[in-house]
Structure 1
Amino acid sequence: MDLLFGRQDFASEACQQNTFLLTNGLGGYCSLSAAFSATRGDHALLMASLRAPTARFDLVHRMSEQLTVGRQTVWLSTQDKAGCPDEDGWRHLVLFEGDGPRWVYEVAGVRVTRQLAMDYGQNTVAVQYTIENHSQAPCTLTATPWLRFIPKGGRMTSRRRFDWSASQVRSGGLRLRFAVEGGIAEALPDCQYETLRFRHDAPDGRTPTGLCGAAGRFVFTAAPGQTRPCAVVLGTGADLPTAGAVLASQARRRQEQAQAAGLHTALGQALSAAADAFIVERASTQGKTIVAGYPFFTDWGRDTMIALPGCTLSTGRYEDARSILRTFAANERDGLLPNLFPDQDAQPQYNTADAALLFINCLWLYYTRTQDDAFVAEMWPCAARIVQCYRQGTSHGIHMDADGLLCAGEGLDQVTWMDVRIGTHLPTPRHGKPVEINAYWYNALRIMARLAPLAGADGGPYAQLAAQAGASFRQAFWMPGEQRLRDVISPQPSPADTQLRCNQIWAVSMPFTPLTRDQAAGVVRSVRQALWTPCGLRTLDPADPDFHPVYGGPQKVRDLAYHQGTVWPFPLGGYYLALLRVGDFSPASCRQVRQDLDALLPALREGCLGSLPEIYDGGVPGPSRGCFAQAWSVGELLRVCEALERPQAAGLEGSWAQA
């Protein structure tokens, strides 16, 4: 995809609004702004994952760069600072390529190109420069790594000292190695410190400043008329590769991932590449997992089960899908899957009603592609326990009611994805029978009936439960006057029960739907009219008095808006699959979805370049909010791209219910 930006894009400091992201398959990453600045406390040139994927350490926060040509010295790097002048290298930036990333600067006849790459499976980042000196004077590029050596999200103090030697830096029991190509490394006489301003953290109430330290620098020179390749490689391993090897490996991996996905549209190819960032190792389980979002989140059960079909199945990564499903099956307890995984001495948290049901959905989608009977038989005991425990009752008030529908939530629990809690206040209380949980339940029962013979089990009881749940679903949730579904059926009727929210769309988009065709069409129409935006679905009807048009400010203010109108990209995947299903994948329905998807291409040029974010404002979606790269956003829209090219991959095999 074309992610080129030129002077027209950098007429001001606007280049600090966008971010690039490189990852290493361990949960570590390299991420700064397009201007090569740290605009967030969670930005880093090298955020190492020392125990995948959660033990992340901010080792090298940024690199400052100065270019001297004759008697003129200018910044190439850009940075907002507190207490001293800002670095303004964006003024000399003539070209930035987000799919790389690669920068080109021009100063007084000298061209400097910078490229970055991260070594997959290692906590290593390569910074490669090419200096083309077309001036009549010698030039010197000085690159200074600004260090932190603190856990991600921590605070560094000026008391931290960095011990710089010939090939490494040590501090606080941590060690960073470096290798210089085409230049020299030199220690500073004393540690230096600077305080950065984080322009993207301050508006959201996060810590607006952060301290970094420097103990050495790298120096590269080029004579008049000389073209000089040079580089720095920074990492935690004993043997560092060359910069060229890291760049070549990164390019080769991207090509291999694109070929494995086999999609042909620009959006499909871009999202296929973006999906790779989220699939990582988990040391505590010796398997794969999915990071929910960068830079804030690690791996979460619900997010993993929503993101898995797109991020692994649509990209042909079936072994990764098996590894993830095995990991979750091994950690099932009382029919529940972990929403927050155990790490080191921490205990898993089983506070979600949907992850286990979506596990069964993932198993079905995997099987429809692979016909892997043996894996279904291997996972069957876990799937059967989930259904049994949900029927009989398990934690958090999850149980099957007499009508065959599921109840979930009690006390201050929030067990659906609308899970914000502010002290004792639940902005979106959904205790009772949430619509999407029951859509997932019906879908899971139908799947179990279909898969039972592969495990030598009787599918009849599951089919009977599904029939009961489906009839009760249509009777309880359908609102004939408004031609849509209730959001929740509370133990005590509440105005929240009939709020128009996006959760109803999954009753249409799951492989097996409890709705009639006419009911499904009504759901799609109501969502389109009130909730659809080009970059996601609103979580609440703008006409509702609880609607919040803007997401921002301190944590409490953000939490109040999080599910009260804020736009989320990931439900857009369910909406488009529902639209295709209702339209029978006709040329007209496919054309409409393709036209709508065109509006997402500009979204890939904003926020995290080449990826999709967590959320947008609900009123007028513009700049992205929350995590700048979100797994389920990428995965769900990737499923839509694939469904347009390979309709059978959507797994929508269930027939319509009868009125």
Structure 2
Amino acid sequence: MIEIAFGPQVCADPATGTTREWLVTDGRGGYAMGTVSGLRTRRYHGLLVTAGETPAARRVGLVSLDPAVTLPSGARVRLGAHEWSSGTVDPRGFELLERFDLVDGLPRWRWRIGDVVIERELAMTHGRSCVAVVHRLLAGGPVRLELSAACTWRDAHGERRADGPAPRMEPVDGGAVIEGSYRLSGPDWRPEGQWWLGVRHREEAARGLHPEEDLWYAGRFAGALDRPGDTVSVLAWADDLAEQPPPATEVVAAARARHRAVVAAAKPADPVGATLALAADAFVVRTGAGPDVVAGYPWFGAWSRDTMTSYEGLFLCTGRAEEGRELLRSYAATLSEGMLANTADTGRVEYNTVDATLWFLHAVSRHVTATGDTDLGDELLPALHGVVRAHLAGTRYGIAVDPADGLITQGGTPGTALTWMDARVYGAPVTPRTGKPVEVNALWINGLAGLAELTELAGQDAAELWRLHARATESFRRRFPAPAGWLHDVVDAPAPAYPLGGAAHHDDDLLRPNQLLAWSLPYAPLEPDPATLRRVAGGLSTPLGPRSLSPDSPDFAPRHRGGPAERDTAYHQGTVWPWLIGPFVDAYRRAGLPTDDLLVGLVGHLGEFGLGSVSETADGTAPHAATGCPFQAWSVAELLRVHKAG
């Protein structure tokens, strides 16, 4: 894997060490997450964040273990870090950090206090909500190490305050159970029980959200580090509270071995591929319903659009086809009126997407093509044919095949945003894209051809599917080319206002990246034209992937910053989306254009923000600072897919 390591000029600087985040996951949607410096900057940061019935139903438990070292001289040095409501950062343990490494995907810190060097490693148990934190003396000593446990028990999206009840602490052998929900275990436990008031999260402040919470100082562990190699370790876990996990050092060793096996199964060609294969592993989780995909950490759960867009990269490019097969069968069972549910993150199942089901058709086709698993194709054929029938007849939100041209139209319900550009501000879509969006119809045409091939592989007649495909393709080629020299983003869109006797519809020729799918999909409706692609790239390309809108547009938003309304307004109005590097590179390759330099910026990005991973979004203007989730499934999946194909 690529080396990701930082010295004191990054670790010890709160302006740089806090902008690089690490993530360790438990395979169920829970995680541990924080910054290189150790300073918590998000409400989502913690050492034990658990998933509930769905990956999105997360709760924060153990927030931090703050080390303090008592030296032979009797001096006590605190190595933790917290920012307070006053803006003061105290303690400032990061100033003693001499190195941070990501080793086999696991974070490792090294503090130096004179001739004393102490190392911390952290890992989680895969398939169990359990974190292990190991501290090891590397040089100097003897010293005594104390670890103060700052705790809470709350929804990951909120905060807990001291004006409410204190967390319940039940003493158990070697530690305590907090709120009956998770257990702490380690050496020489001493309960305390007091509030730390006014802990501040600077990233939440920057996002226009409430930035403060109060933490419960539950108690502290302690142990002697007499000679190099000695360790002091703490475990925290949230399930099977009576069942003690393996020793913390074994948890770390097992996690390291598993990560190496994950990488080996992906058969990467180079360190970049190895890094991306391990990054992909974080998003593949197992719930009570089987395998699923977390769209992004720390705040997303499972979204069918993201899952199906990511499918090839996360499963087929990483040697996980069997898990993928199970996932596709599970999702097929949830089809309703020819549609996949978008998400249940809100607590209810929402069927509010026009494209997720079309990406599902693509995922099944790619699975059968890549693996030769025609049995799965045969099994899912009735469900896939049902998708086509439902779209021909018309389904939710006015989604239907227009009998006039065979193209899909959508968005007949006011206030809906059904494509991936689905941001709304105060209930109103920013980019409603009502009508016939370009990528939706590229996916429809691609899906019809893929399904026709699956049908023929099953020995069935696919003539009607090929007829639908040919008609939609002809209409696409006639309707979508725009006089500007690229493709319309939407055709037959309702005109916002038109004079008496004028046209009730218009064609939107804003330069957006959605058109890339018209050239990049396996059964794309158009053959790529190099001159057109260069025009598209000239307006949209950045080092981290295409922008969502050209800077020439009067609605272009250069920065994806501010409060929720400001960020959602900019979300698809110029913000960079790294996942689009997939269709961008595919289109370039099909056109015979050079692609060697298209991934350079994203490869460099692996060590910039979400360490070893790829962010959800970035600002539309230089230096294209990353925004959104630091760890995003389809960003990783699409970069992995095109990197491996190259």
1:572-587 correspondence runs (5 A): 572-583=581-592
CA contact 1:162–1:214 (8 Å) conserved in 2? no
1:452 aligns with 2:461: no
| TM-score between both structures, scaled by the size of structure 2 | 0.93
Q: Is the 8 A contact 2:125 2:255 kept in 1?
A: yes
Residue deviations 1:329-378 (CA, integer Å, cap 9, x gap)? 100000000101389xx542110010111111001110111111110011
For each residue in 1:190-218, what CA deviation from the matched residue of structure 2 results, as whole angstroms up to 9, or x when unmatched? 43424311111111101211111012111
In the TM superposition, what are the counterparts of 1:561-640 in structure 2 within 5 Å? Answer: 561-583=570-592, 589=593, 592-640=594-642
1:556 pairs with 2:565: yes
- Report the residue type matching 1:22 in the other structure: V
8 A Cα contact 2:424 2:569, kept in partner? no
Cα deviations across residues 7-63 of structure 1 (Å, max 9, x unaligned)? 232352221111100001100000011112211001111001243423321111122
Contact 1:92 1:107 in 2 (8 A): yes
Note the aligned Cα RMSD (angstroms): 1.8
Structure 2 gaps, min length 5:
497-505
The one-letter code matched in structure 2 to 1:10 is C
Alpha-carbon contact 2:63-2:150 (below 8 Å) kept? yes
Report what 1:124 is aligned to: 130
Q: Distance in 1 between matches of 2:432 and 2:89?
A: 48
Q: Distance in 2 between matches of 1:417 and 1:350?
A: 13
Aligned to 2:484: 482
1:606, 1:623 within 8 Å by CA — same for their partners in 2? no
Contact 1:96 1:103 in 2 (8 A): yes
Letter in 2 for 1:250: A
2:66 touches 2:80 (CA, 8 Å); kept in 1?
yes
CA contact (8 A) 1:140 1:222 kept: yes
By how many angstroms is 1:493 displaced? 4.3
Describe the SS at the equivalent of 1:63.
strand
| 3-state SS, counterpart of residue 596 of structure 2 | helix
2:225 touches 2:232 (CA, 8 Å); kept in 1? Answer: no
Q: Is 1:273 the equivalent of 2:278?
A: yes
Separation in 1 of the partners of 2:332 and 2:513? Answer: 29
* 1:357-368 correspondence to structure 2 within 5 Å: 357-368=358-369
Instruction: Quote the Cα distance in structure 1 between the aligned partners of 2:515 and 2:574.
Output: 15
Deviation at 1:435, TM superposition (A): 0.3
Distance 2:138 2:511 in 1: 59
For residue 77 of structure 2, the aligned residue among 74, 77, 80 is 74
| Contact 1:162-1:191 at 8 Å conserved across structures | no
TM-aligned CA distance change 1:169 to 1:579, over 3 Å = same
Residue in 2 that maps onto 1:539: 548
Q: Find 1:155's aligned residue among 153, 159, 168.
A: 159
**Whole-angstrom CA distance in 2 between matches of 1:241 and 1:195:** 35
In structure 2, the CA distance between the partners of 1:11 and 1:101, relative to structure 1 (3 Å rule), is closer
Whether 1:248 and 2:253 are equivalent positions in the alignment is yes
Deviation at 1:609, TM superposition (A): 0.3
How far 1:77 sits from its partner (Å)? 1.8
Change (3 A) 1:148 1:311: same
Higher mean C-alpha deviation, range 88-97 or range 419-428:
419-428
Could you tell which deviates more after superposition, 49-58 or 348-357?
Answer: 49-58
| Counterpart Cα distance in 1 of 2:109 and 2:139 | 16
Residues 484-511 of structure 1, C-alpha deviations (whole Å, 9 max, x = no match): 1000013434677110000000111111
Contact kept? 1:272, 1:638, Cα under 8 Å:
yes
Match of 1:91 in 2: 95
- 1:169 maps to 176
- Aligned-partner Cα distance in 2 for 1:432–1:66: 61
| Aligned residue identity for 1:273 | L
Take 1:267 and 1:149, find their aligned partners in 2: how far apart are those partners?
37
TM superposition outliers: structure 1 runs of 4+ over 4 Å: 493-496
Partner of 2:290: 287
Structure 1 residues 553 and 612: CA distance shift in structure 2, 3 A: same
Contact preservation (8 Å) 2:122, 2:134: yes
TM-score (norm 1): 0.91
Give the corresponding residue for 2:328: 325
Question: Which residue number in structure 2 is paired with residue 514 of structure 1?
Answer: 525
SS in 2 for 1:122: coil
Equivalents in 2 of 1:156, 1:509: separation in Å? 47
1:650 corresponds to: none
Partners of 1:161 and 1:191 within 8 A in 2: no
Q: Following the alignment from structure 1 to structure 2, what is the Cα–Cα distance between the partners of residues 412 and 192?
A: 44
Q: Which amino acid aligns with 1:46?
A: L
| 1:38 equivalent in structure 2 | 40
Structure 1 gaps, min length 5: 584-588, 645-659
Compute the displacement of 1:636 (Å). Answer: 0.6
Q: Indicate which of 415, 424, 428 corresponds to 1:425.
A: 428
2:148 matches 1:144: yes
Q: Would you say 1:403 and 2:405 are equivalent positions?
A: yes
Q: Paired residues, what number?
A: 623
Q: Residue 185 of structure 1 is aligned with which of 189, 193, 213? A: 189
CA shift for structure 1 position 426: 2.3
Within 1, Cα distance between the matches of 2:331 and 2:430?
30
Checking the alignment, whether the CA contact within 8 Å between 1:32 and 1:38 is kept in structure 2 is: yes
Change (3 A) 1:80 1:531: same
User: What is the one-letter code of the residue matched to 2:99?
Assistant: L
Kindly state the Cα deviation for residue 171 of structure 1 after the two structures are TM-superposed. Answer: 4.2
Structure 1 residue 424 displacement after superposition: 4.6
Q: Is the 8 A contact 1:37 1:62 kept in 2?
A: no
> Residues 292 and 300 of structure 1 are in contact (CA less than 8 Å); yes or no, is this contact kept in structure 2?
yes
The offset of 1:85, in angstroms, is: 5.3
- The 1:37/1:12 distance shift into structure 2, 3 A limit, reads closer
Distance 1:540 1:169 in 2: 53
**Given that residues 493 and 508 in structure 2 are in contact (C-alpha distance below 8 angstroms), is that contact kept between their aligned partners in structure 1?**
no
Contact 2:5/2:102, CA 8 A, preserved across alignment: yes
Residue 96 of structure 1 aligns with an amino acid whose one-letter code is F
Per-residue deviation, residues 586-613 of structure 1 (Å, max 9, x unmatched): xxx5xx4232212222201111100001
| TM-superposition CA deviations, 1:131-185 (whole Å, max 9, x none) | 24525xx42211111111112223212222331413443344x3322332xx422
How many Å separate the matches in 2 of 1:171 and 1:143?
A: 17
- What pairs with 1:296-315 in structure 2 (closer than 5 Å)? 296-315=299-318
CA distance in structure 1 between the aligned counterparts of 2:432 and 2:345, rounded to whole angstroms: 27
Q: Distance in 1 between matches of 2:96 and 2:507?
A: 54
Question: 2:392 touches 2:401 (CA, 8 Å); kept in 1?
Answer: yes
1:184/1:219 contact within 8 Å kept:
yes
**Counterparts of 2:444 and 2:199 in 1: how far apart (Å)?**
49
Equivalent of residue 121 in structure 2, options 93, 115, 125? 115
Q: Distance in 2 between matches of 1:178 and 1:441?
A: 52
Q: Which SS does the other structure have where 1:25 is aligned?
A: coil
Structure 2 partner of 1:348: 349
Q: Which residue of 1 is the match for residue 112 of structure 2? A: 106
* Aligned counterparts of 1:544 and 1:596: Cα–Cα separation in 2: 24
Q: Which amino acid is 2:155 matched to?
A: P
